[in-house]
Structure 1
Amino acid sequence: MQLINQVREQSPLVHHITNYVTVNDCANITLAIGASPIMADALEEAAEITQIASGLVLNMGTLNKRTVASMIESGKMANKIGIPVILDPVGAGASSFRNETAAKLLKEIKVNVLRGNISEIKFLAGLDSETKGVDASENDWTNSTDAQKIAQDLAIRLDCIVAITGKVDFVSDGNRTVAIENGHSMLSQLTGTGCMCSSLIGSYCGAAAEKTFEATVTALVTMGVAGELSFEKAGEVGNGSFRVSLQDAISKMNEEMLTRRALFYEI
Structure 2
Amino acid sequence: MKMETLQTTTGMKEWSRNHLRQGRTIGFVPTMGYLHEGHLSLMRRARTENDLLVASIFVNPTQFGQNEDLDSYPRSPESDAAKCADIGVDALFTPTPREMYGPDFQTYVDVERVSGPLCGASRPGHFRGVATVVTKLFNIVGATAAYFGQKDYQQLQVITTMVRDLNMDVRIVPCPTLRESDGLAMSSRNSYLSPEERKQAVCLYQALNAADALFGRGEGNPQAYLSIMRDRVEQEPSAQIDYIELVDPRTLENLDHVDRSGALAILAVRIGKTRLIDNMLLGGV
- Provide the TM-score with structure 1 as the length reference: 0.27
Computing the radius of gyration from Cα coordinates, the structure with the larger value is 2
Q: Which has the higher contact order (CA 8 A, sep 6+)?
A: 1
